[in-house]
Each structure stands twice: as C-alpha cells, then as structure tokens.
Amino acid sequence: MSNILIIDDEGDIRLLVKSVLENEGHVVDDAPGGKEGIEKIRGKKFDLVILDFFMPGMSGREVLENIRADPKISATKVIFMTVANFSASGLEELKKLGCIDYIQKPIDNDDFVRRVSKALE
C-alpha cells in the first residue's frame, strides 16, 4: 500500500485515477492545482505524485521545480500525466527535472497501473 497524490485541475481525471489506484490498494489523495498540491506534499509523505503538466495558475513543470527546490520534499517521486506528446528533447528535459515517467491521457488503465507499480519499486 502506497500513499499517492494526484495533482490535476480536471476533477473527472482526479476521480478516475483515484478510483483506479484505490482498486489496487493504494491510499490516494488529490489536489486541484499546484499550490494546493505542494502544500499537501509539505504536510504529508507521499510515495508518488502524479502530476498534470498543463494547469492554470501553476504549471506541472513549475510544481516539479518547486518540489525539487525544497530539500524537505525534493526526493519525492513524480510522474507526469498529460495530453502532450513530448519530443525526444522534451523527454530529456523532463528527466533533468527528475520526472521518472510520463503517461499520456487518456490513460489505459492496465498500462497506467503497471507504470505506477514500476515507479513505486
């Protein structure tokens, strides 16, 4: 059982992902935006953060940069979940930021569960 945080501005995506992960036995929390997500990460230890890349207010990239800049939470594992299709250089940039994977929306539940399990190893 792992503690997972989903940060996504779309409520239906948060509900779907939360349901899929809870069915796998994980404890799942969620946040509708970057600022709320960072506050939750600072207040509780999460084994994994699943982060939307495109959000109003604070982008997923900005959220990840904030996580990496804070020594107390910098080791947090992060997966991006986005509609974007990143180029090779974009993927390289994500690796530099310390993103361990990126999953394209809409998600395939079986592939999603497999990749989250791998990230939690």
How many other β-carbons are positioned within 10 Å of the β-carbon of residue 104? 15
How many other β-carbons are positioned within 10 Å of the β-carbon of residue 44? 10
Short-list 9, 47, 45, CA closest to 30: 9
Q: What is the pLDDT of residues 63-112, one digit of tens each?
A: 999 999 999 999 999 999 988 777 778 778 888 889 999 899 999 999 99
Half-sphere exposure of 21 (CA within 13 A, CB side): 27
Q: Does domain 3-119 match CATH 3.40.50.2300?
A: yes
How many other β-carbons are positioned within 10 Å of the β-carbon of residue 111? 11
How far apart CA 60 and CA 8 sit, in angstroms, is 9
In the predicted model, what is the mean pLDDT of the chain? Answer: 94
Both tokens of residue 76? 């947090």
Q: Write down the pTM of the prediction.
A: 0.94
